[in-house]
Chain A
């Protein structure tokens, strides 16, 4: 696999994505053990029959041995549907200097998350989008799904404009409630509308994780001299003296990041920023180690 090679897999073996402890209501299904007992495939214990119990749940083999009615109880397994929403707009193709494009980092993160989810026995699906949905892979269990995802991503190239707001709006309506949603994007654009839509995910009882992939130059604007900035998403241009703009840009960028951080924290959305100048696995490890995640 291109985005999940042996080295990446070796690094991921030390990580485990255990969402159960964060989900008090246990409403997410999957291999994650629910606190409620029910009838599922994994046996829990026998208990004496009580009126009202379904006849079909009687364990006849125990009755044959002990001539008393016992009912079989099973540990209920909840199935966890995970959706990996990957931004494939033109802005994700940005890279500065000799660094990898943000797209590569985003793909690696997506594949790593998919692996972690699938490794837990949950179903993982993927949605790539720009102005509209490009590819949608329905959630499926099994690591075989990784191959499909990788091939899908390999055939994708970032391009086109981003309309994150409309895409998210449509996705929010399409995804079943109470899903686990990973949004991998640079989150560049109108921050307030993006936040509003991400919060809409939350309102539909989705568990949302926002992974913002950024290039350091998008943070530092470390250009000098007169520069014509050309947008990767449209034909827009901006001619300016980069050094003179740097200060204001950084201020705005920091403000935007603070806004994201505050809004996501307030909404219970896990948020992490991933810069392409840092190893993605380390960043992912740190992201998973923040409260709410447990590291093996």
Chain B
């Protein structure tokens, strides 16, 4: 069986009759030649008439055949080698067209997305099918978009074209192995497969990432592999260098009060000595770095971001736009718990002087910056002038008398969730804390001298969870902590003793009140009362205590998911969960999501970008939460470098030729040319009068 790669050339086939036409024309336009006598001519004419005519027609036949062979050579004939085709038993081609919808197909080639070019090639391919052929169309990324059982064969090109035109590039990654497995399953389930040629056309990029999902043995290692099924794929022959932001992640080692996020950029297929990586925070470019990218390794850059009032760090890292814009930006969202503000209220005028508790706390919290708290101090008498709601914890130290207004303020503060650390101090009296009696974990009694030194924690672990979960009190030299004076405490039933003195009397007691928490230190950090502030354990004690009071865990929520993964928001027991939240997608689309069991799940993460969650009841702006959604970069979709395709490649520019060659057989242009030359040589030999006369002479000699 013979087909042609350039069938339009066959329209020139009537030209092969040119010798006959020319012969007739010239015969009609024969020149007149007067001649002396026609007797001999007539005799010669009659004598050579049969041979002449035979030779003449043979010559014309050879010329016609030579021309036809020449035209056929230009039409690029393809011989079908398969026996089925040769015997005519082949009843058609079953072509399964798989259009890659992964996000790497968004790469632009000469200003057009590869997906569009691949779809156009698919539509062009449909035109090549013959009436007896059938076609099925499916998109694929991580696998076939459609269940193989639901794929159907279509004999209508237009229907297949419509299916193809409905496919859009998505944000999935490519798994050609799984796709081919499903394709083979689909093909093997067809009952009419006998005597039908089968082909799978993969309309994708021929890049390395596509092939990485294949088994080491290639397509033959895929389950259900059918060697008789012809695998075809597009070959672009275009180098598409591409740079990408591979990922980003929170980074330790941030500068003071800053948050570090590391972004990694890489490039495939070229070197780019000077490209820029921009950091955008909340829609504003905050930093630009010049990077030198090469193929050897990804380049990491750490960006330091200033803390935001609401702790929401969201934005993107962006490279200069290139062939694949989809991976030039990497969105991030990091929820950083704000550093809690601690208010130190003192009642002793010398509290901030050296040797007093205020002095030590200021040194620890404000000057050293070692603990994640912002320290403010104030005289208790000025409490009314302060906004206590700005603080997460209040330390009340060394008061002789607490005004009722201050007590009420402190009480409301604790009720609303604040933490109050009461340090009994050196001048407290039994009436001092009368205004706070409702929230006190214990009632202080008279001051006394402990029988022995040392501190005894109720639990060696500083905390059951959180940043202090690994802290052990036994790591400190608690025996050398000397508590020279302390108040005797009578713990409330709901109170919990955290530390005791060397004699076992309660020293640090905790209780919850309202939504807040209260700690009571039964002594003072004044060096006259205790050397605890001079010991290393003081740092840990202050940190743990303030953390318990402020609820500060130092948590960072990396709110970054992949496209297709759900955004899951879970409200902690202490948080106020709304009934419904509203999710705003990057395109501006808003979706209302019901909060159920303090959980809300949003699954419509169809494209990369920043998704904003806020209570649907019109909550405060501070309640806005950002989630970053990025395309999956784990499969190196950004690597657009061409790889060794394990299938027969079709060039989009020469789709027809390559398809016919790959599916139907071997091109026989050289053979046709040789045939034409052979026929021309025969014609030349036959038309040579010298040869003819030699033959005649030989014949005469023989006679």
Listed in ascending order, the chain A residues whose CB lies under 8 Å from chain B are 90-92, 94, 102, 162, 186, 188-190, 215, 218, 221, 223, 225-233, 236-249, 251-253, 256
- From B26, B29, B36, B693, A247 is in contact (CB under 8 Å) with B693
* Pairs across A and B, CB under 8 Å, 21 listed: A90-B36, A92-B36, A102-B36, A186-B36, A189-B37, A189-B39, A225-B31, A226-B27, A226-B29, A228-B32, A230-B33, A230-B35, A233-B37, A239-B27, A241-B52, A244-B52, A248-B52, A249-B40, A252-B44, A253-B40, A256-B40
Residue B55 CB within 8 A of the other chain = yes
Instruction: Across the interface, name the chain B residue whose C-beta is closest to A236.
Output: B38
B696 partner residues in chain A, CB cutoff 8 A: 247, 251
Residue B48 CB within 8 A of the other chain = yes
Q: How far is the CB of B362 from chain A (nearest CB, A)?
A: 122
Q: Which 4 A-B pairs have the closest CB atoms?
A: A226-B30, A91-B36, A94-B36, A248-B48
- From B36, B37, B52, A245 is in contact (CB under 8 Å) with B52
Q: In the complex, A251→B42 CA distance in Å? A: 13
Chain B positions 53 through 76: 1 when the CB is less than 8 Å from some CB of chain A, otherwise 0:
001100000000000000000000
Q: In the complex, A18→B693 CA distance in Å? A: 43
A188-B40, A189-B39, A231-B38 known; A240+B33 contact, CB < 8 A: no
Q: In the complex, A254→B546 CA distance in Å? A: 136
Instruction: Across the interface, name the chain A residue whose C-beta is closest to B695.
Output: A247
Is A244 a contact of B31 with CB atoms below 8 Å?
A: no
- From B30, B35, B36, B43, A225 is in contact (CB under 8 Å) with B30
Q: How far is the CB of A245 from chain B (nearest CB, A)?
A: 5
Q: How far is the CB of A142 from chain B (nearest CB, A)?
A: 35
Q: In the complex, A188→B39 CA distance in Å? A: 8
Q: In the complex, A26→B38 CA distance in Å? A: 42
A243 partner residues in chain B, CB cutoff 8 A: 689
Instruction: Across the interface, name the chain B residue whose C-beta is closest to A161.
Output: B37
Q: In the complex, A246→B692 CA distance in Å? A: 10
Q: In the complex, A6→B641 CA distance in Å? A: 99
Q: In the complex, A229→B45 CA distance in Å? A: 12
Is B41 a contact of A251 with CB atoms below 8 Å?
A: no
Q: How far is the CB of B683 from chain A (nearest CB, A)?
A: 14
Most A-side CB within 10 Å, residue of B33, B36, B45, B52: B36
Chain B positions 288 through 310: 1 when the CB is less than 8 Å from some CB of chain A, otherwise 0:
00000000000000000000000
Task: List residues of B (1-56) whose CB comes within 8 Å of A's CBs.
Answer: 26-27, 29-45, 47-48, 52, 55-56
Q: How far is the CB of B421 from chain A (nearest CB, A)?
A: 124
- From A228, A252, A256, B31 is in contact (CB under 8 Å) with A228
Residue B110 CB within 8 A of the other chain = no
Instruction: Across the interface, name the chain A residue whose C-beta is closest to B33.
Output: A227
- From A189, A225, A248, B26 is in contact (CB under 8 Å) with A225
Most A-side CB within 10 Å, residue of B37, B52, B55, B689: B37
Residue B700 CB within 8 A of the other chain = yes
A94-B36, A236-B38 known; A247+B692 contact, CB < 8 A: yes
B31 partner residues in chain A, CB cutoff 8 A: 225-228
Is B35 a contact of A94 with CB atoms below 8 Å?
A: yes
- From B32, B34, B55, A244 is in contact (CB under 8 Å) with B55
Q: In the complex, A127→B55 CA distance in Å? A: 47
Q: How far is the CB of A118 from chain B (nearest CB, A)?
A: 30
Most B-side CB within 10 Å, residue of A162, A230, A247: A247
Q: In the complex, A237→B42 CA distance in Å? A: 10
B38 partner residues in chain A, CB cutoff 8 A: 229, 231, 236-238
Instruction: Across the interface, name the chain B residue whose C-beta is closest to A227.
Output: B33
Is B30 a contact of A228 with CB atoms below 8 Å?
A: yes
Instruction: Across the interface, name the chain A residue whose C-beta is closest to B29.
Output: A226
- From A218, A232, A240, A256, B45 is in contact (CB under 8 Å) with A240
Is A94 a contact of B34 with CB atoms below 8 Å?
A: yes
A226 partner residues in chain B, CB cutoff 8 A: 26-27, 29-31
Q: How far is the CB of B698 from chain A (nearest CB, A)?
A: 12
B32 partner residues in chain A, CB cutoff 8 A: 227-228, 230
Is A229 a contact of B35 with CB atoms below 8 Å?
A: yes
Is B33 a contact of A232 with CB atoms below 8 Å?
A: no
B56 partner residues in chain A, CB cutoff 8 A: 241, 244
A218-B36, A231-B35, A231-B37 known; A245+B30 contact, CB < 8 A: no
B44 partner residues in chain A, CB cutoff 8 A: 245, 248-249, 251-252
Instruction: Across the interface, name the chain B residue whose C-beta is closest to A234.
Output: B38
Most A-side CB within 10 Å, residue of B29, B32, B34: B34
Is B41 a contact of A228 with CB atoms below 8 Å?
A: no
Is B39 a contact of A190 with CB atoms below 8 Å?
A: yes
Q: In the complex, A240→B35 CA distance in Å? A: 13
Is B33 a contact of A229 with CB atoms below 8 Å?
A: yes
A225-B31, A238-B42, A247-B696 known; A252+B36 contact, CB < 8 A: no
Q: In the complex, A238→B44 CA distance in Å? A: 11
Most A-side CB within 10 Å, residue of B26, B34, B35, B47: B35
B693 partner residues in chain A, CB cutoff 8 A: 247
A230-B32, A239-B30 known; A248+B47 contact, CB < 8 A: yes
Q: In the complex, A294→B40 CA distance in Å? A: 36
Instruction: Across the interface, name the chain A residue whose C-beta is closest to B693.
Output: A247
A188-B37, A227-B31, A236-B38 known; A245+B45 contact, CB < 8 A: yes
A233 partner residues in chain B, CB cutoff 8 A: 36-37
Most B-side CB within 10 Å, residue of A92, A186, A190, A228: A228
A225-B26, A244-B48 known; A252+B33 contact, CB < 8 A: no
Q: In the complex, A249→B700 CA distance in Å? A: 14
Instruction: Across the interface, name the chain B residue whose C-beta is closest to A240.
Output: B45
Most B-side CB within 10 Å, residue of A186, A215, A229, A239: A229
Q: In the complex, A237→B34 CA distance in Å? A: 9
Q: In the complex, A247→B55 CA distance in Å? A: 13
Q: How far is the CB of B59 from chain A (nearest CB, A)?
A: 9
Most B-side CB within 10 Å, residue of A90, A102, A240, A256: A240
Given contacts A91-B37, A225-B30, A247-B689, 9 further A-B contacts (CB under 8 A): A92-B36, A188-B36, A231-B38, A232-B37, A237-B38, A245-B52, A247-B693, A248-B47, A251-B696
